[in-house]
Structure 1
């Protein structure tokens, strides 16, 4: 009888240590996506960091604005992945960096673009995607009318506008651009596209956990601990390298 009680105590004690968390997510291959392997490499990193702490992630996929709104209201525990901002710091616990994002300017190789600062882009027809923030200098130049910006509904549409010669340049996350080009464009179309190596913006992207949800401060501490362990093990670098190699980004 004593052995049975001990076994039950260990069993239910182990179950008590288990936890789960519901997070919103969006569509941004290869980092995030409902139908991607592991729901994207950023989702994979978050999954594994939480799993190392005994927390199981349940992903809920929405358009970006709704994904953030549900997390802000605490209807879901949090959302992945986002830029850090003062406004978000007021609403969320913000993790250590999950991935880094590097935006560069893409162009057609028969019409290359050279630049050092945003004023060098004056006179060019520049594409951009609705709702995207391309950095303070770019956003200010757009607001002041110093740049000729044509906002589109998606990065893919922007690339098609670029290929059609309707715009001269398009800022894109370099890894996302390669994923789009590999998935939606022919080899002949891909061969027409180049990019300038100078970053328009470089930022880290983070997991957000709502301050409206009880226990999220402790969950974030556990997540950051798991993320640090994942990095030190080399698995984060391995996951990112696998993605880059699949997109022919790695040397």
Structure 2
């Protein structure tokens, strides 16, 4: 009788675990954020994709490096949302794209600017956020000393340095940049800035599920099914439009 009880505990315990996923997260408004509605639009998409498969998400917010490390080690089931690369594929099951990110070069309107390649950025004062990867060509040129890049602690600081005239260019995800300008800068400050129409880099962002956690391959398959259903419903496009509509430089 005792062994039958233990077997039931194990079975129901595994069922419960399969119906919940523990994910780490970080601060990158309006995509991700602990205090944002739905924890940000990317978190909302991840959560609703899982919910369509009968799986609840338990979020934990940590600094980005810690979030990734905890997931990589299998201390949590996974983390949202990240760029896909070969190194991450070694440690994680990588989802279909959750959202798209486009980095653009912001500049002051009174400082005319045009570019078609990395060589056109030479001689210009550029700010960048520490730990951010702005694409292979940019990263190589920075490492070689061909680009003058001042690495700062945050995107907001980069925009303020740009407005102060201390740098000429600042690359930032356009939606993130607009959100920062809308939330933390005055209309007069926003009107002083523009961005070049050519993206510095464009990428998809993904859910990562640790290869150290048993069952995560099947869990990822279920997530991708839910994500495709959510995309087909039109809700993802709707959610992304909702965060962009109130944002403006003007």
Give distance in 1, aligned partners of 2:22 and 2:246: 29
Give distance in 2, aligned partners of 1:102 and 1:204: 9
Cα deviation per residue 1:113-155 (whole Å; 9 max; x = unaligned)?
Answer: 2100010010000000000000000000001111000000000
Give distance in 2, aligned partners of 1:50 and 1:223: 5
TM-score w.r.t. length of structure 1: 0.92
- Quote the offset at 1:248 in angstroms: 4.0
- Quote the offset at 1:112 in angstroms: 2.6
Match of 2:101 in 1: 101
Match of 1:230 in 2: 230
Give distance in 2, aligned partners of 1:116 and 1:40: 33
Q: Is the 8 A contact 2:127 2:150 kept in 1?
A: yes
Match of 1:4 in 2: none
Q: Is the 8 A contact 2:129 2:158 kept in 1?
A: yes
Give distance in 2, aligned partners of 1:149 and 1:171: 11
Match of 2:33 in 1: 33
Give distance in 2, aligned partners of 1:86 and 1:112: 38
Q: Is the 8 A contact 2:182 2:248 kept in 1?
A: no
Segments of structure 2 that go 5 or more residues without pairing to the other structure are 1-11
- Quote the offset at 1:188 in angstroms: 0.7
Give distance in 2, aligned partners of 1:75 and 1:181: 36
Give distance in 2, aligned partners of 1:191 and 1:22: 42
Q: Is the 8 A contact 1:124 1:169 kept in 2?
A: yes
Q: Does 1:58 align with 2:58?
A: yes
Segments of structure 1 that go 5 or more residues without pairing to the other structure are 1-11
TM-score w.r.t. length of structure 2: 0.92
Q: Is the 8 A contact 2:104 2:196 kept in 1?
A: yes
The count of residues paired between Structure 1 and Structure 2 equals: 236
Q: Is the 8 A contact 1:17 1:54 kept in 2?
A: no
Give distance in 2, aligned partners of 1:51 and 1:17: 14
- Quote the offset at 1:246 in angstroms: 2.4
Match of 2:164 in 1: 164
Give distance in 1, aligned partners of 2:167 and 2:79: 33
Q: Does 1:137 align with 2:137?
A: yes
Match of 1:189 in 2: 189
- Quote the offset at 1:17 in angstroms: 9.5
Match of 2:67 in 1: 67
Cα deviation per residue 1:55-110 (whole Å; 9 max; x = unaligned)?
Answer: 00011001111110110111110001000010000000000000000000000111
Give distance in 2, aligned partners of 1:27 and 1:212: 25
Q: Is the 8 A contact 2:53 2:223 kept in 1?
A: yes
